[in-house]
Amino acid sequence: MPELPEVETARKVIAERALHRTIVAVDDTDSYVCRPHAPGQIRDALLGRQLIAAHRRGKTMWCETSGLDGSAEHGSAEHGSAEHGPDLGLHLGMAGRIVVESPGLETVWGGEPFRRDAQPARAQWDRFRLDFADGGSLVLFDKRRLSRVRLNPGLAALGPDAGTVTEAEFRDLVRRGTVAVKARLLDQSKLAGVGNLLADEALWQARISPQAPAGSLSRPAASRCSLGPVAGPNLAASRPTSASASWQTVPIPSSSSLWAVLVPTPHNASTGSSPSSSNQVAPVIRNTPAGLP
């Protein structure tokens, strides 16, 4: 399932490849993915506009849109305005990906890693599509149909982004109540962006039982399982670009916490194992399949 790092790669693909391109066609006919909007409602709201900025909090993305004259000003980062376009909300669900095609450029995937599938891709797996005046497109690809597209998505129910909270904020958010600490990490209203994979990895590194009551953690223990700036500069450079790379979690030295950052580590060509390092304390948690763009 796409978690904060995967969703950030999708947001980055949109920011780098899909902005400032005039929308000339919209396919919003999948009424389940685009609920509660009726078919054609998102199309009518977006035609003639441009995506002008891509944002993310936790696993939720939203894109600001321009006015019909292409103006880049925007009244609100959450609810749009009458003068300018609505925000386009995107959620990848369990297995969604963002696919952006540009004329003369390669097709770029963001989100869940690209995997070669023996089953040919089907047209119905393109759940939502924007076509641009230059001939390119943005597609929400999702075999499982659990992704979502909404206009002006609400963010009030989401807690702070897990990639931006400080160590002190993290401790304050986690060390409350009798709920199991893993359940607290997965509660999107408290900390947005953490899923099973990141929660398990942080608790494994901190040597904390997932069933431990959140309120029972000491300050040092809570600091040990802090996630660190997983959506910061290190993440931007962390996406593997070749089949010989792996996702690996390694600690960044800190006097009081274990900041986990996802970085690619090249495999040893002869053994298939990662080079040894005294700083590498965690197992490989994501293998990069051949064909990842």
pLDDT digits 0-9 by tens, 126-179? 899 999 999 999 999 998 889 999 999 999 999 999 888 888 888 888 888 899
Could you give the CA distance from residue 61 to residue 76 in angstroms, rounded to a whole number?
15
Confidence of residue 228 (pLDDT cuts 50, 70, 90): low
Please give the Cα distance from 63 to 152 (Å, whole number). Answer: 9
Q: What is the pLDDT of residue 124?
A: 76
Asked whether residue 264 carries a pLDDT value surpassing 70, the answer given is no
Selected residue with higher pLDDT from 21 and 125: 21
For the chain, the structural domain boundaries read 4-151, 159-293
Res 16: pLDDT: 93
* Residue pair 274/248 in contact by the 8 Å Cβ criterion: yes
Q: Tell me the two tokens of residue 171.
A: 């401790």
Taking residues 11-19, what's their average pLDDT? 94
**Token pair listed for 146:** 């659990």
Q: Is domain 4-151 given the CATH code 3.90.170.10 in the classification?
A: no
Q: Which residues contact 278 (CB under 8 A, 6 or more apart)?
A: none
Beta bridge partners of 192: 161
Under 8 Å between Cβ of 5 and 231:
yes
d(CA 56, CA 85): 18
Mean pLDDT within 62-89: 73
Residue 144 to residue 125: CA distance in whole angstroms: 8
Instruction: Say what percent of the chain tops pLDDT 70.
Output: 69
CATH architecture of 159-293: Orthogonal Bundle (1.10)
pTM over 0.95: no
CA distance 120 to 50: 32
Percent of the chain exceeding pLDDT 90 equals 42
CA distance 164 to 253: 18
Taking CA atoms, 7 is separated from 57, 73, 213, in Å, by 9, 25, 29
